[in-house]
Structures are given as structure tokens and as C-alpha cells.
Structure 1
């Protein structure tokens, strides 16, 4: 396991910085860019070929032709060993998990903006090989995530259908898919998984009280 503390201490930053953020979900890219500006008063967003710092997903980096000396921070969904190792192998200076709590993500970006490397503690799969509940939740589509959220609030299928403007049959289909993807048999088990998984029952909000950014991607699916 990587044993790198996630410090929240303020760090010194360069007076000026050009940066570019690339992510398939605009809400994530915009939030990361806003966090960069909040951490660095002299940060300016520019085109990729002019950026001192590029923050992007590993898949996006494969298509980029970056100038020599460009620093790269890789956006990953979770602090798993494989994506962290892949980021290192690409010469990145950091791997930034989008499911970090907001204050930890700010601290990680602060270190990167100060020119330092930042690597997360790697999360291990449990001994039986079962993925953590938060990762199973990430398998849900945006609509399924909304259905599960309403289920956790005690809404019945008919009420969920009304709230989302869909048929009750569609809700039942979503519920069946949710149970299958979460590996459970009953509604109550799905709701328990949702509520106990890293406070995901709280809706994603803009910067300031940000829930995990990986949750925000559901809204764009």
C-alpha cells in the first residue's frame, strides 16, 4: 500500500501558471478548473499546447501531443493500485481520485500547483475480492442513481415514477437493474448500501460543500 499522507497544510505556489483541464464530463472539468483558480490566484486556463500543467484522464492523455516539460496530473475515479501505477508509468506528477473529500482534493491540487508530486493511499480490494460498495454504486446509470436516491427517501415506485416523469414499469425495470448491479436481492439491502457508502445519500453540490466528484458524473450520464 502506498503510504503517502494527504496533508491539508497550505503550500506555496508560483506567481503565474497556465493550465488546462480535460475530462469527458464538463461538470467535472469545470469544477477542477475552479478549484485550481481558487488555490492559485495567478492560474490562467489556456489551450492544451500552451499549458504548463495539464490535468486530464489517462484515456485523454493517450490522444494528446504535449510539449516537452509539461507537467501532468491524472484524474482517476478511485485510488486503486492499477490507475495509480499507470499514472506513474506515464511520468505524471500526481494521480487525483475524484472520490476524494473536497478538502483533500483541494490539498492535493495545492501540492500539484506548488510543483510537488502527490500520490494517494491505494485502496485495496477486500480479501474476498468484492469491490467496495461505493464502486458498485458507480456502475449505476444516472437515472438508476436517482431512483435509488428516491428509494432511500422512502418513496414508492408510483411516487418515484411521478417525481422523475417516467412510467411505473420503467421504475420497476430500474429497480431490478439496481439490485443486480449492487449484488443484492432486496430493496432494503440496496438502500442500506446507498446510505452507508461514504455519505453518498447527500446530493452533489457546487464547490464549497462538494460531495465526491465521481458522484457528480452520474448527473451527466
Structure 2
């Protein structure tokens, strides 16, 4: 069994973490459900087939009236986007608290500046490694002698897969263009939906794993102080 490093004296009292972790897990679960619902509607659109009037976006700025199924997909897409946005905020609040507690427990400043907590997800190129790097830095600063939990790499691999291909978390197509994709080639959409649901589930497991590890160290420090 690997031996942990001696317990450092906290620079300040760590903040409560379990509540933020529970909210993050719930938000990730809801995001997974939202993307699963999108997958169901993609299947429904593919099974219904494209209407004789053609796709909703007919080019040159012409859009035909949507049918009931297409209207319902717009609703599912809008709700899913809102849930995903809330999930991102709650996840970042958890990660921010995890970083603060790691600094408190280790006495070391985080490797990445606080601004990267937000910019790291949206700045091209560096968003391929900075978010994972922040999570890894938090764990290693508190547990320098422990290996990074494998779930972190699984989460990050699935996240990157969800970004790839232009049909996942970020894509340039409008909702009507996605509907046309579902009519004419649904499998790439379903593959992206499945990857994103898996990424949300793995992220929830990562939140639980890292929270439990950090809480273990907080409890050890509290026992030492007492």
C-alpha cells in the first residue's frame, strides 16, 4: 500500500464539500437524462422519416412550417441546452471549492490561475488539456504519493469524444439542420448522444471519487488537530 505524505498544516479551514458534490452529481445526472431524451427524439425523427415537403431549412433563408414532432424536438433541445448550462455552472462551483480546499490542505498554490477555471473550457487548443490538468493538479497537490484515479482519464476521454465530429456538445448547425441530419443519417447523432451520456455518468463518478478522497484528508487533519 502506498504511504501518503505527512499531513500539512492547513493554511485555513477547508470549506464544506459534500453539499457542492451532491449538487454536481444531481446536475450531471439531469444533463445525462436531457441528452438521453435528445437521443430518443433523434430516433423518433429517423423512424418518422423526412416529410414530402423536405427538411425544415430549405435553403436561401426559406423555412417551412414545423410539424408536431419537429416542434417537440425544438422544445427538448432548448430544455437540454438549459440543463447543460446549469450543470456546467454547478460543476465549476464544485471544482472551485475543490481547488480552494486543496490549497488549504497542501499550502501550495494551484498550478493554473483561477481564470483558467472558466477560460480553460472555451479557449481553443488549450481546452484539450487544461480542464483535466486542473482536476489532476487538485488531487496531486493533496495526495502527491497517490496515482490519479483512472476515472479522471475516462471522464476526459469521453468529454473529448463528445466534442469531436461536430455533432456533440458543440456544433455549428442549427436545430433545424440537426433535424435534417436525423432524417438522413441518424447514427452519428446517436453515437454522440451516447458518448455524452457516458461522459456525464463518468463525471458524476469522478466527483464522488475526488470528493471522498479530499474529505478523507480533511477528516484526518481534523483528528490530528483534536
TM-score computed with the length of structure 1 as normaliser: 0.27
Q: Flag the structure with larger Rg.
A: 2
Quick one: higher RCO (CA 8 Å, sep 6+), 1 or 2? 2
TM-score computed with the length of structure 2 as normaliser: 0.27
Greater share of helix: 2
